[in-house]
Structure 1
């Protein structure tokens, strides 16, 4: 008997005689933790705002890409995974790439969704784990062609305008979820992500500014790497005070700009005047 609201399960155990008559019995109540991540389907994971646990088979793989982030070598690889609900691209980072093999089934923990090229896909995070399983999965391939045609272009240089600069004040963002971190009560030097709960030490050189760009006539939000907007502004306007108002006015009125960005990481990597 399972109470879905409280995650309580009552187990009754009886000891019977050879005539199947009850000699003794006992009852025990087991409480399941609310923090256990249950296995879900790919379809549900693509709709979830919290990290998911999946069991899926690897159906396809693409070329591994290497890059540097904050002067640290990194790599990623796009796989296509499938289960009974369908298929989806999965962006796998760094050493987790080596865990996967074609046509085999794996359990994926702490997998998050992210929007890339106007499509929701799945991605590993710093907390993700991948383990092999002997379970057999018969994937539903109804959207396999769509998954294979997904645009895998990451780093791209475009000419575009800033549509909005919501925040040029310095705020810390989560390196995994790309959302603002929340200060911990009574711990001014520690910040915490409300999505993945990752904690970060507050360091001024990690501050980033959020912006909205026009890409293919649609508004897309990105973050700027290591105050790149402030640094470029200072180079171009050495005698102008670097206030939030001056920064916004300069970028909004002097476009279009030639911008190098990473779609998968939602980051502006470089900016130049056209």
Structure 2
């Protein structure tokens, strides 16, 4: 059961993590607050313009995390089966306070670059900046983002770090930085590191010396990301269609007496129907010789793909599948940095959440069709929800797809090959 509190509710505690600024339809940052009895609140701060961390509220959150000082924030709370979610705007009120409980240091051990490249979990690192490459633009669902390759080092060796939407003056060459919530990623046949939506970057309190004894191997890594291939579509996955609030992705309802408007209950905000984005996405399997490549196509890219076979997103799923599988030669361009390491092998499995780790954002799901099988591991980033910010809750029922290890790439361009 979900309970929504009045918009002037507040939370009090210590900030333990802040992400760098991200953007979808709005600019936003995520943060985590430690509350009384070592509780946790996941928070979101939204803004129509960039620069959230430079606002008074952003600076207050940063100071709280660095200095372990208390804050009280005002905004909107949602309590969902014991998990608290907080949402507010960049211009909202805040107050520095002395909470009635002490800060409890969270587990946030630093890993070396070598260990981070072997870790399957997000981790924190302290690194020395050796070089920063020029950023490369890519389009995701109509929003332009950047990938920047940064050559980093510590006493265990060197690696490339891909920073998504690197801000101006975030890094300086020959200085040391702390980064939280970074992950390893397979890229052009080797493991490198990449930032995530939860990554926070700050100047390190102590300097790091880079071990460059094997830097020649790192420099030899092929950093070419954009690939292109001429192929036909061999397989097509489930076609997903959704529409929702541009801010929270909540359900939109029609407004009585105003046919051109819809209303989001979560954000308490009206929107014009014509401004709502209707998302459509699917996965495609193509072949490059004997290699099978899984591409994810969504939004405007999928619309362009359908245009190549004479359809629009208004066509039904059967028409789309038949047209894409009609042996039409297409030239695909895709980016490997958008890959995930899985492809669907079993779909629409019914399950129940049996264990949740809120701090590390994962859960285990018990299959309802075969309770003797091992529980299934899943991250909250894999949740598709039309009604709330994605998170796992104990005892919730769900439908999920099983996946196996392979390459899936983010497709950013497609056109008919004549």
Task: Give the TM-score normalised by the residue count of structure 1.
Answer: 0.65
Please give the alpha-carbon distance, in whole angstroms, between the structure 1 residues aligned to 2:242 and 2:117: 28
Relative distance call for 1:170 and 1:80 in structure 2 (3 A) is same
Where in structure 1 are there 5+ consecutive unaligned residues?
1-29, 173-186, 191-200
| 2:110–2:123 Cα contact (<8 Å) kept | yes
> 1:246 deviation in Å?
4.5
> 1:250 deviation in Å?
3.5
1:271: which partner in 2?
414
Residues 79-124 of structure 1 show CA distances to partners (whole Å, capped at 9, x for unaligned) of 1111233221111122446211212211111212222223322111
Relative distance call for 1:223 and 1:129 in structure 2 (3 A) is same
| 2:241–2:279 Cα contact (<8 Å) kept | no
2:224: which partner in 1?
153
Instruction: Tell whether 2:334 aligns with 1:261.
Output: yes
Map residues 22-171 of structure 1 onto 2, 5 A cutoff.
Answer: 36-96=107-167, 98-170=169-241
> 1:204 deviation in Å?
6.4
1:223: which partner in 2?
296
Relative distance call for 1:221 and 1:121 in structure 2 (3 A) is farther
> 1:235 deviation in Å?
5.7
Further displaced range: 263-272 or 247-256: 247-256
Please give the alpha-carbon distance, in whole angstroms, between the structure 1 residues aligned to 2:167 and 2:288: 31
Asked which structure has the greater CA Rg, the reply is: 1
1:211: which partner in 2?
284
| 1:208–1:227 Cα contact (<8 Å) kept | no
1:11: which partner in 2?
none
Where in structure 2 are there 5+ consecutive unaligned residues?
1-101, 244-248, 253-266, 268-275, 339-408
Relative distance call for 1:215 and 1:268 in structure 2 (3 A) is same
Q: Secondary structure at the match of 1:147?
A: helix
> 1:259 deviation in Å?
0.9
Please give the alpha-carbon distance, in whole angstroms, between the structure 1 residues aligned to 2:221 and 2:120: 22
> 1:263 deviation in Å?
2.4
Please give the alpha-carbon distance, in whole angstroms, between the structure 2 residues aligned to 1:154 and 1:52: 24
Question: Over aligned residues, Cα RMSD in angstroms?
Answer: 3.7
Q: Secondary structure at the match of 2:198?
A: coil
Specify which structure has the bigger relative contact order, considering alpha-carbon pairs within 8 angstroms and separated by 6 or more residues: 1
Task: Give the TM-score normalised by the residue count of structure 2.
Answer: 0.45
Please give the alpha-carbon distance, in whole angstroms, between the structure 1 residues aligned to 2:277 and 2:142: 17
Q: Secondary structure at the match of 1:36?
A: coil
Please give the alpha-carbon distance, in whole angstroms, between the structure 1 residues aligned to 2:299 and 2:171: 33
